[in-house]
A and B are shown apart, each in its own frame.
Chain A
Amino acid sequence: MSFASTQFLAFFGVLFLLYYTVPRRWQWKLLLAGSLFFYWFAGWWCLIYIGVTTVTTWLAARRIDALAREQDAWFQEHKAELSREERKARKAKDRSIRFRWLLGCLLVNFGILAVVKYTNFVIGNLNAAAAALGGGQPLPTLSLVLPMGISFYTFQAMGYLIDVYWGKSPAEESLGRFALFVTFFPQLIQGPISRFGDLSRTLYSEHPWDSRQIAMGVERVLWGLAKKLIVADRLAIPLRALVADPEQYNGVYVLAVIFLYAVQLYADFTGGIDITIGAAQMLGVQVTENFQRPFFSKNAAEYWRRWHITMGTWFRDYLFYPMSVSKPILKLHQKCRNRFGRFGKRISVHTCSIILWFVTGLWHGASWNFIVWGLLNGLVIIISQELEPLYDKFHARFPRLKGSRGWDAVQVLRTFWLMGAIRVLDVYRDVPLTFRQLGTVFTAFRPQVLWDGSFLELGIGMGDWLVAAAGAGTMLACSLLGRREPVRERLSRHSPHLAWGGCVVLIWLTLIFGVYGIGFDATQFIYNQF
């Protein structure tokens, strides 16, 4: 059930009315029932997968939490009798017992994800390697169907489990409440990847009717729908044409693909997240923001702090940090430091960065284009970190540049195009083809196609281009005006009724200018596939 579908509208409408009709203490139970129905709608068998993740994580977290309490009670009682070495040894032993539970649960759940998402990718690569070596019969691929949102809910549940293991979050006692955390339908299919500590603050509370919050939520849902239906789905049409015939559409067309895909993905993904956050807000639940004006970033590292924030922080906190302080990496650090001095200190960190970006790429999809995409992101970040002394020298030579608006604009544009060029791996879905296409920007530029009417032969006419440009312009204006505070917040503070006015305008604009498929349903959101 896509967010931009009449089915979702009907489902959410009924749920919303019931939510504010039933006694408030039942609200979270109704949300759980609604979330399970939403998930069942994608296929009853999906409930088995999410059920296994929910139950195993809940049980393991409860066990880890109980063990930690018992161990801590024992430790406090006997602390005075133990020497410093004995205390350390006891803590290490206790920790390893809890770690076994953590590891077991991680293996089960990441194992499920690995099997359903990556088995055919591994088989495909083994077959390709065997064929290259002149091997025999290829292995058959399996007919595995990916359960909806598995990458998102697995990461969310495992983040919670690690937090319990680290003692940062208490284990949830109620299986039902925990099941709601894992299955909460607005964020089930494309994130954000919430932390238990953040989401649980409002997920289980009783929510009275709050007109202002509901109006703001409706407005945000409609804003997300408008981005998706007016801009993203409209630009999807010429993009499909440009990618379908790469031989014809090379040179300057590749720059168009970079630019158009950046706008389409932004409208699609942030639109989907707007719907998630807005729908949750209508139910009184606060979901973490996932974007912070990412296209205004001045370098790649900053871009990744502002784009898909919850995924970036998940990888940082649960993969990058634990890996960086693990014994093998610390040993590597020691060796490189002794051998290569100042630069050597950074080798271990860069090694972790490369692994992190490899996994990030793999998380996005089981294909080489995503892996190369991830590795290139990591490489760009490492190179820019290593070039920092050079930047410092440059700025020492030209002190007036740093912080000036012109230089800021240069950095923003450079980052936008660089990240966009890497991102087209996601569009062509073929690594050699992507590099060939990027190469034609320098060998077959042909700028005349920009004004000779060729762009009017890509499936949409002048009117559609103008609507898409107006939509993209509005998104840009809202980003620029919302630097300190979102435009919607500012407007609604001046007049609380303005949000309803905004809703009416957005409904009309979406109805008139939206791009619809069969039965007024939109195409799937891009991030649903991850």
Chain B
Amino acid sequence: MEELLSILRELHPEVDFETCDTLIDDKILDSIDIVTLVAEIGSEFDVEVPAEELTPENFNSAKALWEMVRRLDEG
């Protein structure tokens, strides 16, 4: 989780990712951030994030993102 938070903080240092759960709803993450994030997650955690996982529910909070990474990693 800490690695994921550091990837997120590098994208938007001003955001408190531990508490924010409206990253998409409040337009904090845009489409560029999302694909950058997917690429970084792929490098860091060695998981492939398919296009159908790019949904607001999966990207609205660090927690939801972490759950998606774990689910994809488990297969």
Interface residues of A (CB under 8 A from B): 84-85, 87-88, 91, 166-168, 301, 316-317, 320-322, 324-325, 329-330, 333-334, 337, 345-346, 348-349, 352-353, 385
Contacts and interface: CB of A to CB of B under 8 A. Distances in A.
Interface size class of B (residues with CB under 8 A): 10 to 19
B36 A349 contact: yes
Contact of A325 (B30, B38, B43, B74): B38
B49 A334 contact: no
B51 A349 contact: no
Contacts of A349: 32, 35-36
Contacts of B51: 166, 321-322, 325
Contact of B35 (A88, A168, A317, A325): A325
Contacts of B28: none
Given A325-B49, A325-B50, A346 B32 contact: yes
B50 to A, nearest CB: 7
A85 B35 CA distance: 26
Contacts of A167: 52
Given A84-B75, A334-B43, A321 B36 contact: no
A321 B31 CA distance: 8
A333 B32 contact: no
A510 to B, nearest CB: 38
B31 A330 contact: no
Given A301-B30, A325-B39, 12 more contacts: A317-B54, A324-B38, A329-B39, A330-B42, A334-B39, A337-B43, A345-B39, A345-B40, A348-B35, A348-B39, A349-B32, A352-B35
Q: Which 7 A-B pairs have the closest CB atoms?
A: A166-B52, A324-B35, A87-B75, A88-B75, A322-B51, A333-B39, A321-B51
B60 to A, nearest CB: 16
User: Of B34, B42, B75, which is in contact with the most chain A CB atoms at under 10 Å from its CB?
Assistant: B75
B15 to A, nearest CB: 15
Interface of B: 30-32, 34-36, 38-40, 42-43, 48-52, 54, 74-75
A322 B42 CA distance: 14
Looking at chain B's contact residues, is the secondary structure mostly helix, strand, loop, or mixed?
helix
A33 B52 CA distance: 34
A346 B37 CA distance: 11
A508 B30 CA distance: 46
B39 A330 contact: yes
A385 B34 CA distance: 14
A325 B32 contact: no
Contacts of A337: 39, 43
A316 B42 CA distance: 20
A329 B43 CA distance: 13
A316 B31 CA distance: 8
A398 B27 CA distance: 24
Contacts of A166: 50-52
B68 to A, nearest CB: 13
User: Of A321, A337, A352, which is in contact with the most chain B CB atoms at under 10 Å from its CB?
Assistant: A321
User: Of A168, A322, A324, A348, which is in contact with the most chain B CB atoms at under 10 Å from its CB?
Assistant: A324
B52 A168 contact: yes
Nearest to A322: B51
Contacts of B75: 84-85, 87-88, 91
Contacts of B42: 325, 330
Nearest to B54: A321
A316 B75 CA distance: 27
A516 to B, nearest CB: 43
Nearest to A85: B75
Nearest to A320: B31
A321 B35 contact: yes
Contacts of B50: 166, 325
Contacts of A352: 35
A387 B6 CA distance: 24
A320 B36 CA distance: 12
8 contacts: A87-B74, A322-B51, A325-B39, A325-B48, A333-B43, A334-B39, A345-B39, A353-B32
A345 B54 contact: no
B39 A385 contact: no
